Each structure stands twice: as C-alpha cells, then as structure tokens.
A and B are shown apart, each in its own frame.
Chain A
Amino acid sequence: MDAIKSFIDAFADPRLFFSLAVGSLALVVWGHEAFASKRWGWGLMAFLVALFGFGLTDENFNLIITKPDNVPIVGLIFLLLFFTWYSVRQGVLNDRRIAAGKPPIEKDEEDRVWTWPDLVYTELIAIVICTIIIIVWSIALEAPLEQPANSANTPNPSKAPWYFLGLQEMLVYFDPWLAGVVLPTLIIVGLMAIPYIDKNPKGNGYYTFKERSVEITLFLFGFVVLWSSLIVLGTFLRGPNWNFFGPFEYWDIHKLEALTNVQLSEVIWVQLFAVALPDSWFIREIFGILLVIGYIAVLPVVLAKKGLTKYYEKLGPVRYYVTVLLFLSMLSLPVKMLARWLFNLKYIVSIPELFFNI
C-alpha cells in the first residue's frame, strides 16, 4: 500500500506530472486510431475511478479531494478526460467513414426534424437532470464558510479561485506581470484569433481528427495540458509556501525546498566569464535581452524560411506571424519550465530596477 502511495507521490512531482501530461497527449495524437476504441474510453474512466477510490482510503488524499471547493475539479478531471476521448473517438469514426468514401455522420443527419418535440423535450430532460444534480450536490455538500475575513492573518497557502490556479501555478516560472497580465491577455487574444488564423476549410461542422490534426493537437495542448492540468496541479499538489506535495503526503508547513535558482546573467558573467556583474543593468542583461528578442523576433522569421515554410505560404505573412507569435508565447511556459528544471534558471532577463523580469 505505502509503496503504491509513494510511487504515485513521486509521479505527481510537477516535473513528472507535466511530462506525463505532455507524453500522454503525444501518445493520444500518435495513436488516435487505437485511443478511439471503446476499450480505451472505459479503461480511462475505470483507471480514474480506481485511482480516486484508492485515494479515498488515505487520510491526506481525502482531505484535499473532499474540500468542498475542490469537488468540482474532481468532476472536471472526469468530464474533461471523458470528453477528450469522446471527441477524438467521434473524429476517428468520421475519418473512417470519409476514408471509405462516405460523408461524415453529421452529413447523413442533415434532414430537418421538428424543434417540437425533438429539441424541446431533449432540453427539458437535460434541465431536469441538471437540476437534480445541482440539488443533490447542494444537499450533500455544504458551501464552505471559513473564519471571518482578517487581513492580518494570511492563510498558507493562499490560493486564487480554482479556475485561476493554472495562472497561479505559472507564477512559479514567471513574474506576475507575465503570468498574471500578459499571458492571460494573450490567451484571450489567442482564442479570439483562432477563427481568423485557421484557414483550413475542412472539418467545419463535424468531428474529424485527420483533417485538422495540427489544430486539434495545439488546442488539446493548450486547453487540456497547459490550462487544465496546471489547475489540477495547483489545486491538489501545491501546499504551504506553494511547495509541491504528493496527493498522499501530509501538508507539512515546515517542508524545506532549497532555493538554488540562478539568473542567466550570473551564469554568463560570473560562472562563464569569471568577472563581477556589470553595474549597468543593460550590459548586465544584454545576453538575456538578445535571447528574448531572438525568441520573439528572429525565430519566427527563421522558421518562415525553414521549418514552417509550408505554413508561411499557406497563411500569408500576417496570419503566419500572428500564429507563430501566439504559438511561441504558449510555448514559452514549457520552455521556462524546462530551463528551471534542467538549469535552475530563475530569470532570463532580470531587471529588478524596472520590475522587469522574464
């Protein structure tokens, strides 16, 4: 029992947890044909039920899972994984029809039906079921109410509402101006840009995987891996001082984590050149600044020439640069994560004089 628990705890470590999420997505994309089988869907659900069933026998796991405000996230895990499987399955089923020379199933169901009774009754039943779920949930679980607000007593950990915990988790890797302002803005802008940068005319109004595999992979990466899995991580696996705790671990407020992070400027000037840091922040940070400029300004141009030429030609310059910039911003999080995990890198550019750290 304890061996299994420490095994799961070890796997829940942010590095492994995130790599596991990325790896799973890669496997799903690569093996979508097999993943679409019913066996996989039920297997996935059974695995989750077994995991949570096993977890509920543990005191620490129980404490964090049954916290009233965390219950919806447990529901979200089940729903999200189910619908990910389900939508990939619908896509694969349609792809098989298309490969066999038939139109997607939705085309076969193009005939019109009467709104009354076909739709209104479906809606009525959905409303009734939804109401029952909410009422049962409300009777079973009391809404949380803690001690009265006290600005002199900071709880540890202090967490934002659960849907923002992915952003709070980003604070581990980025400063608030990026994690809390710029990147959320880019998420919204990026979502709104989707219909205008996606020029693929296929897959409009029906499930498919093959005809839109790149778009779907990117979306699943952003929505399921980055946004949702970081919410799960931030909710269940971050305890006092935002330290990592495995799901079966006791939230020890005295847990120590060595802070051995270094700045890029220190690595370059002190470790590489063996000189003291220059006084001027501009010279001190010049390498980091060049690196960032290279990432957001030079890399897209290079990629247009080599690597993503196909997309540059297909999308045209404006759409291409918007797409690549949004993509690189999304990728900046895993890039920074890797830099932190592999090199203990804190900031690429660190100018505390201007509150400007990247």
Chain B
Amino acid sequence: MADTKTIAPKDPAFVRAWDWLTETQIWTSIFRHTAPINDRNRVLVMLSNVFLHLHPVRLRKSGVRLRYTWCMGGLSFFLFLQLTFTGLLLMFYYRPTLEYAYTDIVSLREHVPLGIMREMHRWGAHAMVITVWLHMFRVFMTGSYKPPREFNWNVGVIMLVLTLLLSFTGYLLPWDQLAIWAITVGSNMARAAPLIGNEGPLSSLMVLGDVGLVHQADDMRFVLLGGTFVGEGALLRFYVLHCVGFPLVIGFLMAVHFWRVRKDGGISGPL
C-alpha cells in the first residue's frame, strides 16, 4: 500500500513573502518577538519598545475610556511633538533678526506652494493651549490630583505655565504689528512688578543713598526684553527661549510627569 501523502494548500504569495521577511536577520534584529497577538507578546512589545514602554503592560479599563480621560493629556503630548517637528522645519527658513524676521515669514507665505507648516505650527500651538487646559479640567473633575498624585499635579501646573510661555514667546517671532504689540502689552506687566519693576509699587524705595536702584534700564521688564522696548534684543531672547530654553525644560518635566503617572499607581481610578 502506497503511502498517502497529504499536501497542504499553499499559502497565498503575500503571506509567504511576509513570513520570509519577518524571518530575515534584519527584521528579527529590530523586532525581538512576533506580532502582539498573544498575551506573551503583548507584554514583550511594551517591554522591548522604547516608545511604547512609557505605557504599562496593562491598565484599568476606565483608563482607556474616552469618557474618563477625554484623551486630552495624550493629545497635548502629541501636539507638542507635532509642534517640535513643524517648528524644526520653520527654523530652516527663519532668521531672528530685525532685518530678516518679517521677510522670511513673507517668503514662507509667498514662495512655498501649498505650504502649511506655519499654519500647522500656529494652529497646533493654539490647540495645545486648549488641550492642556482641558486636561487640567479633567484631572480636577476626577479628583486625580488627590494623594498620591499631589506632586504630579504641581509638575502639570508648571508645564501649563510653560505652555503659555512657549506660545507667548512664539507670538513675537513673525515680527509683524500683531506680534510686537501683543508682546508689548504683555511685557509691560513686568514693569509693574512690585519692587523690581520701574513703575511697580515700592520700587521707589529701592535706593542706595541717593541712587535709585530700579530704573527703566535694569528692571524686570529689561531682563525680559533685553532692552527698554520690544526690539532686537527681545526678538533674539524670545527666539532662543522659544526654540531651545522652554522646550528643554518642558521636555524634562514631561519625562518627570509621565514617570510619576506610572509610579503613582498608573492612570487614576477609585481607590
């Protein structure tokens, strides 16, 4: 009796191609395990991927509900990344000097067909302010600042302020009328700081003998603007803070914020 030989039907070509690809040394060197279709790999994917490892392996069901989180914290982070990327592209074409700042923006607008990078950066920034506020709103309404998350709420408040400062410093860079006058109105407040603003209360008491210590050219506003009015010094100062200073600080605090979300027991829920 001849042996019967069963012949399995051949897999379709793309399945075979996929199988071949995922078994190559290059592929397996990048992905240490197969697709996360079983529990073991669902754990591994979180542990072995640097981007995903911000997440826990598992989380409470309420934590994935839009009803609970509104997704506003995640969107704030995503918008920050989007702004970093579009901002980087804009930096290639923008020079923060009185001579070029405005004309560079005009060029971006006039010479780039279908260009929307500046729009994405500006509207993304507005959107980020709103998502950050709504994230704070959600965290308050769910009482998620309560122990053990008090410190992380504070980190969040500082990042909220930094978000506004990032947006505020960016507002000056196009160097048009809208920009300098908004910054003039805003920075005039620094002139009124008690003791350290030249029009602030009690600053006239800051004297050494007959010499007034606080005047127009050394007060709080001067520190902010690098000058007595919104000019070249302010433009450079705001540019550096906008592109380097504040993003570094907020990036650092984001790391702390996300880390503490995990360490304080993951996304909040009833105790």
Query: A residues within 8 Å of B by Cβ?
Result: 69, 72, 75-76, 79-80, 83, 87, 90-91, 103-107, 109-120, 122-123, 126-127, 130-131, 133-135, 137-139, 141-151, 153-155, 158-164, 167-168, 175-177, 179-182, 188, 191-192, 194-196, 198, 200-208, 212, 216, 219, 223, 351, 353-357
- Are B182 and A109 closer than 8 Å at their CB atoms? no
- State in angstroms the CA–CA spacing of A87 and B66 once bound together: 12
- State in angstroms the CA–CA spacing of A87 and B167 once bound together: 28
- Which B residues lie within 8 Å of A123 (CB)? 71, 74
Residue A177 contacts which of B45, B64, B134, B197 (CB distance < 8 angstroms)? B197
Counting chain B CB atoms within 10 Å of each CB, which of A90, A122, A134 scores highest? A134
- Which B residues lie within 8 Å of A206 (CB)? 62, 142-143, 269-270
- State in angstroms the CA–CA spacing of A117 and B57 once bound together: 10
> Which candidate, B1-9, B14-22, B120-128, B248-256, is the interface stretch facing chain A?
B120-128
- State in angstroms the CA–CA spacing of A72 and B130 once bound together: 8
- Which B residues lie within 8 Å of A153 (CB)? 177
Known A-B contacts A126-B75, A134-B82; A116 and B120 likewise in contact (beta carbons under 8 Å): no
Secondary structure call for the A interface: helix
Residue B194 interfacial (CB < 8 Å)? yes
- Which A residues lie within 8 Å of B52 (CB)? 115-116, 120
Residue B61 interfacial (CB < 8 Å)? yes
Counting chain B CB atoms within 10 Å of each CB, which of A83, A106, A110, A155 scores highest? A106
- Which B residues lie within 8 Å of A135 (CB)? 116, 120
Known A-B contacts A134-B124, A135-B120, A354-B204; A117 and B36 likewise in contact (beta carbons under 8 Å): yes
- Are A205 and B180 closer than 8 Å at their CB atoms? no
Known A-B contacts A131-B82, A151-B229; A191 and B46 likewise in contact (beta carbons under 8 Å): no
- Are A137 and B57 closer than 8 Å at their CB atoms? no
Residue B140 interfacial (CB < 8 Å)? yes
Counting chain B CB atoms within 10 Å of each CB, which of A87, A119, A154 scores highest? A119
Q: 30 A-B Cβ contacts within 8 A?
A: A79-B130, A90-B141, A106-B62, A109-B269, A114-B39, A126-B71, A126-B78, A134-B127, A135-B120, A141-B123, A143-B121, A145-B106, A145-B174, A149-B180, A151-B230, A158-B182, A160-B185, A161-B186, A164-B186, A176-B191, A180-B189, A181-B193, A192-B157, A204-B144, A206-B270, A207-B68, A208-B143, A219-B141, A223-B137, A354-B202
- State in angstroms the CA–CA spacing of A104 and B67 once bound together: 13
Residue B145 contacts which of A131, A144, A194 (CB distance < 8 angstroms)? A194
- Taking the closest CB of chain B, its distance from the CB of A119, in whole angstroms, is 5
- Which B residues lie within 8 Å of A176 (CB)? 188-189, 191-192, 199
- Are A138 and B181 closer than 8 Å at their CB atoms? no
Secondary structure call for the B interface: helix
- Which B residues lie within 8 Å of A200 (CB)? 146
- State in angstroms the CA–CA spacing of A131 and B78 once bound together: 9
Counting chain B CB atoms within 10 Å of each CB, which of A103, A137, A149 scores highest? A149
- Which B residues lie within 8 Å of A164 (CB)? 164, 168, 186
- State in angstroms the CA–CA spacing of A139 and B115 once bound together: 9
- Are A110 and B269 closer than 8 Å at their CB atoms? yes
Residue B233 interfacial (CB < 8 Å)? no
- Which B residues lie within 8 Å of A181 (CB)? 189-190, 192-194, 197, 200
B65-81, CB under 8 A of A: which get 1 and which 0?
Answer: 11110110011001100
- State in angstroms the CA–CA spacing of A114 and B61 once bound together: 9
Known A-B contacts A203-B143, A355-B201; A143 and B119 likewise in contact (beta carbons under 8 Å): yes
In the A-B complex, the 5 residue pairs with the smallest Cβ-Cβ separation, listed nearest first, are A180-B189, A176-B192, A138-B119, A195-B150, A109-B61
Q: Which of B10-46 contact A (CB under 8 A)?
A: 36, 39, 42, 45-46
- Which A residues lie within 8 Å of B150 (CB)? 195-196
Residue B260 interfacial (CB < 8 Å)? no
Q: Which of B155-209 contact A (CB under 8 A)?
A: 157, 160-161, 164, 167-168, 171, 174-182, 184-186, 188-194, 197, 199-205
- State in angstroms the CA–CA spacing of A61 and B161 once bound together: 32
Residue B109 interfacial (CB < 8 Å)? yes
- State in angstroms the CA–CA spacing of A106 and B268 once bound together: 10
- State in angstroms the CA–CA spacing of A143 and B82 once bound together: 17
Residue B141 contacts which of A87, A104, A105 (CB distance < 8 angstroms)? A87
- Taking the closest CB of chain A, its distance from the CB of B107, in whole angstroms, is 11
- Taking the closest CB of chain A, its distance from the CB of B3, in whole angstroms, is 44
Q: Which of B215-239 contact A (CB under 8 A)?
A: 229-231
Known A-B contacts A354-B204, A355-B192; A161 and B74 likewise in contact (beta carbons under 8 Å): no
- State in angstroms the CA–CA spacing of A157 and B34 once bound together: 61
- Are B61 and A115 closer than 8 Å at their CB atoms? no
- Taking the closest CB of chain B, its distance from the CB of A164, in whole angstroms, is 6
- Are B201 and A122 closer than 8 Å at their CB atoms? no
Residue B55 interfacial (CB < 8 Å)? yes
- Taking the closest CB of chain A, its distance from the CB of B225, in whole angstroms, is 12
For the A-B complex with A115-B58, A167-B189 known, give 10 more contacts whose Cβ atoms are closer than 8 Å: A69-B178, A87-B137, A115-B52, A131-B82, A151-B231, A164-B164, A176-B192, A177-B193, A194-B145, A206-B143
Residue B176 contacts which of A149, A196, A205, A207 (CB distance < 8 angstroms)? A149
CB-nearest residue of chain A to B269: A205
Residue B203 contacts which of A83, A112, A351, A355 (CB distance < 8 angstroms)? A355
- Are B58 and A114 closer than 8 Å at their CB atoms? yes
Counting chain A CB atoms within 10 Å of each CB, which of B123, B194, B200, B204 scores highest? B123
- Which A residues lie within 8 Å of B201 (CB)? 177, 351, 354-357
- Are B58 and A107 closer than 8 Å at their CB atoms? no
